[in-house]
Amino acid sequence: MKLTLEGLKLGNEWKEKAYKLPAFDYEAVKAETIKNPNWIHFGAGNIFRAFLANVNQNNLNEKSAQKGIVVAEGFDYEIIEKMNKPHDNLSLLVTLKSTGEVEKTVVASVMESLTVDPDNSSDWKRLKEIFVNPSLQIVSFTITEKGYNLKDNKGSYYPAVQADFEAGPENTQS
C-alpha cells in the first residue's frame, strides 16, 4: 500500500485494513479548486492536517463543499517537497478513541501544496494568482511555537529575523 492517488486505486486493500477513504470525486474537486480556489491555509503541519483538512474532507464527503484546500508552507519547505508532493497531497489521520479503537482516515482534501518562497518562482507566481482570484474566500493560518520565536536561547535575534529588521517592512523574507 502506497499513500498516493495510484496507491488508493487498490481500494479494497485499504478497506480491508479499515482505512476510511475519500468519498468524493477527487479529480473534479481538484480541477475546481485549481481553477477557482476558495481556501488557502498557511502552515502545512500536523494541526492543519488533523483538523482543518479533515473538516474539509468531511464536508467534501457529505457534498456540503465542492472545493478542497490549497496549503502553503513558509517555515519548513520539506513538508511540501518531501511529504505532500511525493504523496499527492494525501495524508493519514490516525485517531485513538477513548474506547481503544483506532480510526484510520486517508485525508485527501488538500488539492495543491506550495512553498511561500520568493525564490521558488512557480510557487510564488501561483500564490499571487490565488490571491487575485475573486473566488478566494478564506485565508487561514496555523502558527505554532516555532512561529513566535524571534530570539534564540542566548537572547539574540535569529538571523532571518535580524535580516527582516534591517531590510524594513516592505522587504521581509522570514
Which one has a higher pLDDT value, 10 or 113? 113
**pLDDT for the residue numbered 20:** 95
Residues 135 and 57 in one domain: yes
Residues 109 and 161 in one domain: no
Tens digits of residue pLDDT in 17-71 = 999 999 999 999 999 999 999 999 999 999 999 999 999 999 999 999 999 999 9
Q: How far apart are CA 126 and CA 121, in angstroms?
A: 8
Residues 137 and 155 in one domain: no
Confidence bin at 77 (pLDDT 50/70/90): very high
Residues 139 and 174 in one domain: no
Q: How far apart are CA 75 and CA 70, in angstroms?
A: 16
Count of the separate structural domains present in the chain: 2
Residues 100 and 166 in one domain: no
Residues 84 and 12 in one domain: yes
Residues 129 and 157 in one domain: no
Does residue 149 have a pLDDT over 90?
no
**pLDDT for the residue numbered 10:** 81
Mean of the pLDDT values across residues 10-21? 90
Does residue 11 have a pLDDT over 80?
no
Residue 82: which CATH number? 3.40.50.720
**pLDDT for the residue numbered 144:** 77
**pLDDT for the residue numbered 156:** 93
Matching residue, cell 486517508? 106
Give the bridge partners for 84, in sequence order: none
Domain that residue 170 falls in: 147-174
Residues 10 and 95 in one domain: yes
**pLDDT for the residue numbered 171:** 84
3-state secondary structure of 104: strand
Matching residue, cell 518531501? 82
